[in-house]
Amino acid sequence: MVRAMLVLGIETSCDETAAAVVEDAPAADKRIRSTLVLSQLAEHRPYGGVVPEIAARAHLEHLDSLIARALDAAGVSLGDLAGVAATGGPGLIGGVMVGVMEAKAIAYARGLPFVAVNHLEGHALSARLTDDVAFPYLLLLVSGGHCQLLAVEGVGTYRRLGTTIDDAAGECFDKGAKLLGLGYPGGPAIEQAARSGHVARFPLPRPLLGRPGCDFSFSGLKTALAETVRRQGSLDDRARADLAASLQAAIVDCLLDRTAHAAAAFTARHGRGHALVAAGGVAANAMLRPRLSKLASDWNLRFVVPPPALCTDNAAMIAWAGVERLKLGLTDTLDFAPRPRWPLDPAAASARSR
């Protein structure tokens, strides 16, 4: 009898401490046995962004107990595991080191395989856990630190079609919310304020809109927002809502334009009938999702986006990436060095050099 594969996942790349257990059973649905995320929002909110030293200390303080709780919630022990997976990068190096060292210790003590997961690969493969998406598929990976369009052709096989030449979309949301005095994290704050805003009052630019290629740029949009805020002086609630609506619309327009170019490139190579997957924290935006769904339909692509809890940083996606790699015999040695930078497509040229 073939046993189910149970993998513990650990995620500590930014400001969420997370642990999860995922199961892949023969002739049965893959499932998340447990997934726990300890947010550090309260610790970082006074600074308007993530402070690396605070994040690393919080991971160190809470990770042991969170793993114990995740195992307990899954109804398993360390002896039931087939392997341990942890985010090995990219991310804030202090936090990544905490998770990697914890996973290595468990793997060594229990004689288990260790898998160092690229955080971006965790996002990239999450739709295969939730929706059983087949390779190849087009991925829009959009979060606070990353903004990329990738052809996902297999585990470990990624062809980058576009990336940001400066800031990520999620960073633009965060900095925009800080400029408008809306708090942290910026994405949900901007989305909430924009619901009562009038998008046409403050026209903001759409960098690279309509230009060839699939790369993104959001630095100029941030600058335009800052200059608009400066000209306005003090902001009342109406102005904040209108600026939030304009910023959100500009970001979404840019994401849609670049994704349409990527869909053309992807379908020219792979044909239609595959999937467009959106992942990362910004993929939870309620304005973005329906427009991406329409774009996917226009290109005869199935639109897939994981549930919001699996779009933001979590350990279930890391555990699932560990499952996928273990099934292919892709494990790592205990001398693996955490990586602050780790591109999914190392052969892709830097967008800044193009």
Q: How many CA atoms lie within 13 A of 254 on its CB side?
A: 29
What pLDDT score was predicted for residue 353? 42
How would residue 185 be classed by pLDDT, with cut points 50, 70 and 90?
confident
Residue 17 lies in a domain: yes
| Predicted TM-score of the model (pTM) | 0.93
Residue 208 lies in a domain: yes
Predicted confidence (pLDDT) at residue 336 exceeds the cutoff of 90: yes
Least confident of 108-112, 305-309, 314-318: 305-309
Average pLDDT of the residues of the chain: 94
Does residue 116 sit in the same domain as residue 172?
A: no
Residue 67 lies in a domain: yes
Q: Let me know whether 101 and 171 are in one domain.
A: no
Contact by Cβ (8 Å): 202, 228:
yes
In a domain, 283, yes or no: yes
Are 257 and 341 found together in one domain? Answer: no
Q: How many domains does the chain have?
A: 2
Confidence label for 51 from pLDDT (cuts 50, 70 and 90): confident
351 part of a folded domain: no
What number is the average pLDDT over the span 28-47?
A: 83
Section 316-322 average pLDDT: 98
**What does the pLDDT average to over 157-162?**
97
Q: What is the CATH number of the domain that holds 103?
A: 3.30.420.40
Q: Is residue 77 part of a domain?
A: yes
Cβ atoms within 10 Å of 335's Cβ, excluding its own: 6
Residues contacting 280, CB < 8 A, separation 6+: 123, 140, 141, 142, 143, 146, 170, 311
Nearest-5° Cα angle at 170, 140 to 253: 60
124 and 141 share one domain: no
Given a cut of 50, whether residue 262 has pLDDT beyond it is yes
Whether 146 and 293 share a structural domain: yes
Q: What is the CA radius of gyration of the chain?
A: 20
Confidence of residue 350 (pLDDT cuts 50, 70, 90): low
Identify the pLDDT of residue 322. 98
Instruction: Give me the pLDDT at residue 167, please.
Output: 92
The reply to whether 180 and 209 lie within a common domain is: yes
Residue 74: exposure state from Cβ atoms within 10 A (0-12, 13-18, ≥19): buried
What six digits make up the tokens of 64? 């042991």
Are 28 and 65 found together in one domain?
yes
Does 232 lie in the same domain as 339?
no
pLDDT tens digits for range 103-151: 999 999 999 999 999 999 999 999 999 999 999 999 999 988 889 999 9
Is residue 353 in some structural domain? no
The Cα–Cα gap between 40 and 17 comes to 8
What's the confidence (pLDDT) of residue 76?
Answer: 97
**Number of other residues whose CB lies within 10 A of the CB of residue 110:** 13
In this predicted model, which residue has the larger pLDDT, 25 or 219?
A: 219
Q: Is the pLDDT of residue 26 over 90?
A: no
Note the pLDDT tens digit of each residue in 67-82.
999 999 999 999 999 9
Given a cut of 60, whether residue 342 has pLDDT beyond it is yes
Mean pLDDT computed over 333-347: 95
Judge whether residue 2 has pLDDT over 60: no
Residues 172-180 have a mean pLDDT of: 95
354: confidence class by pLDDT, cuts 50, 70, 90? very low
pLDDT of 235 > 90? The answer is yes
Lowest mean pLDDT among 94-98, 211-215, 345-349: 345-349
Which residue range is the domain that position 240 belongs to? 137-305
Do residues 59 and 171 share a domain?
A: no
pLDDT at 84: 98
Pair (93, 182) in one structural domain: no
Whether residue 350 lies inside any domain: the answer is no
pLDDT at 348: 86
Which range among 139-148, 186-195, 213-222, 242-251 shows the weakest confidence by mean pLDDT? 139-148
